[in-house]
Amino acid sequence: MIQQVTRGIKITVDTDYNGSFLKDNVLHFAFAYQIEIENQSKSSVQLLTRHWKIIETMNKNQYVNGTGVKGKKPIINPGEVHKYKSGCLLSSAFGAMKGTYTMIDLSSTKIFKVEIPLFRLSTLFILN
């Protein structure tokens, strides 16, 4: 489990390897991750966008940018936690992800970035 706090917003990431499969005659490795966004600040915030960098050992980096997470732009009040699960496919057995969320402080209307800490994605057999 990886954690980081930026401007009172605590990001916790937990990952899981879900197996491998062939897609278009290419071996892919499936990873799931759960994100918890905890608002430890004194203001309500809203998550506006996400920006991911997916790092693979055997391929070029991938970038994912989008509005909200899982089709939502959650408002997170002080002391509340927003959780969601997602996943990614890698064509190598080892990689990593990191990124940022763009959020708005609903009291001050100031937009700010929250760091999503680097977390590793690795198959079980690569660790042995």
pLDDT tens-digit readout, 34-93: 999 999 999 999 999 999 999 988 778 999 999 999 989 999 999 999 999 999 999 888
Domain containing 82 — which CATH number? 2.60.40.1470
| Both tokens assigned to 44 | 């309500």
Q: Environment class of residue 24 by beta-carbon count within 10 Å: exposed (0-12), middle (13-18) or buried (19+)? A: exposed
Is 127 within the bounds of a domain? no
Is 57 within the bounds of a domain? yes
Is 27 within the bounds of a domain? yes
Is 115 within the bounds of a domain? yes
Residues 6+ apart with CB under 8 A from 40: 5, 8, 9, 10, 78, 79
Is the separation of the CB atoms in 11 and 116 below 8 Å?
yes
Task: Enter the pTM of the model.
Answer: 0.90
- Full residue range of the structural domain in which residue 30 is found: 2-121
Domains contained in the chain, number: 1
